[in-house]
Each structure stands twice: as structure tokens, then as C-alpha cells.
A and B are shown apart, each in its own frame.
Chain A
Amino acid sequence: MKKTELAIGDSTELEISYSSRAAMTQETKHVEVSSNDTTSGYNRLEITADVKSKPDTLLLLKYSPYTIEFIEEKGGAIKEKKVEFKNSGEKEYKLKIIDYPKELFEVKLSQDILKPGKVLELKVKPLKKLSPDTLKNSVTLQVKGKKEFRITIPIKKEKPPEKSPPPIKWDWRK
């Protein structure tokens, strides 16, 4: 959280991260927010996730990769990343991007409707140089098919590996 005090009409963001472990049924976590507002009482913010194994064999909407991983190239350049969605079912899917970090990325779908047997792309382009620290974010999509559900794709940029010191050269003939 960026601020602990808000003037009248002011707002702040509270980022909540969730780390999944083994595949399971739906998991719910919550945090409690308190302040000097005595009228609101107990403020509970809740997140839910449906943790799935990789690959998600039960889903007819296949996608790859499961995680968008940015790697910094020489000179600090970071290329756009793509996630490919394929409809392996018999009914069409309608996809909509509903959540992503707007200040960091531009996220676009090549099309909204995915007909059976067809493929579409989700493109994720960094808007600025990503922090050298480990970045953990995600893109959430609302999918409408036979049923309505959501898919969240993690975005990460790992800290580049530290250069190991050069090996010590020893010429035994000296």
C-alpha cells in the first residue's frame, strides 16, 4: 500500500498477491483493512483462485505458455511476449481482458471471438523499462463459452543472474 493516510476524496492502491502451490480445488484467502473510519467496522477483502495443473487438461481452450516471462536482453531491451489460445472444443469462446497492470504493460487480444479449431494471440508489451528487481504481476481474462470463467496468466521478470567472477588462471609451469 502506497499511503496510510488519505485526504478527503483521495485514493490509494492496495496490491494483493497470491502464490499458488499444488493443483487443488478453489482456494480463498483474505486480508483485513482497518482505519480510523469507525462506521465501516470490519473490512474484509477476499481473493479466490482455482489452481490448475499444467497442462490444464480439463479445459478445451488450450493456451501456451502458462506464464509470461520477460527476459532482459543485451542493452536492456525487452521484447513483446505472446500467449497463444486454441479452441479445441466445438463451441466458440468470447475473450475479454479484464485486469492487468496498465502502468507497466500494453495488453491486446488479436481478436475477441475464438471459433472452434482457430487460434488467437494475447500480446503483452512493456511500456517502460521493467524494474531490475523480481516482478510479479498478471493478466486476467473473462472467458465466455458454454460456461463463463476466468483465466489468470502470471507475468514475471526474474532478476538477471549475477555474473560469477572469472576463473582464476594458474599456470603451473611458472
Chain B
Amino acid sequence: MRIKGLFLAATLVFISCSISQAGIPKIEFSERTWDFGRVPQNCTVSHIFWIKNVGTDTLKEISVKTP
């Protein structure tokens, strides 16, 4: 009975370690909206959004789509 208990505890520790090692990627943005305000007609303006991986695994396949 005691051996069974020890085996169960060891299994639980192994599972929790495996989960923490797998990790998950997490995307974070400097901001999600940007207001240019008053912009003259017929011109081009630009703004840089920063993307950061705040997760615990590599963030992959980052792609941008314009609808």
C-alpha cells in the first residue's frame, strides 16, 4: 500500500514537470490601436507596433493579413 502511494506521488511529480517544461508561446503588443490624429490628404504616414513573446516557448509563424 505504501509503495503504491509513493509510486502515485512520483507519477504526479513527473507529469507536473513535463507540463511546465513544454511551455506556451504568448504574443503581446505595445498597443492595439494607434491614432494619427489630423493627417493631410494625399500623403503616407506610419507607426511602429512592437510585438513581444512573453510566453515560455518560441513564438512562431507570425504573419500579418490585411482584410
The interface of chain A, by Cβ under 8 A from chain B, is 1, 3-23, 30-37, 39-40, 43-54, 56, 59, 66-67, 99, 101, 136-138, 140-141, 143, 149-152, 154, 156
Contacts and interface: CB of A to CB of B under 8 A. Distances in A.
B32 interface: yes
A52 B40 contact: yes
Interface of B: 23-27, 29, 32-67
B40 A9 contact: no
Contact of A36 (B25, B39, B43, B48): B25
Q: Is the interface of B mostly helix, strand, loop or mixed?
A: strand
Contacts, number: 208
17 contacts: A1-B62, A6-B62, A9-B52, A11-B51, A16-B46, A18-B36, A18-B44, A31-B65, A45-B34, A47-B47, A49-B36, A49-B37, A50-B36, A50-B38, A51-B41, A101-B48, A136-B46
B58 A8 contact: yes
Contacts of A149: 37-38
Contact of A40 (B27, B49, B57): B27
A33 to B, nearest CB: 6
B37 A50 contact: yes
Contact of A15 (B40, B46, B66): B46
A150 B35 contact: yes
A136 B39 CA distance: 14
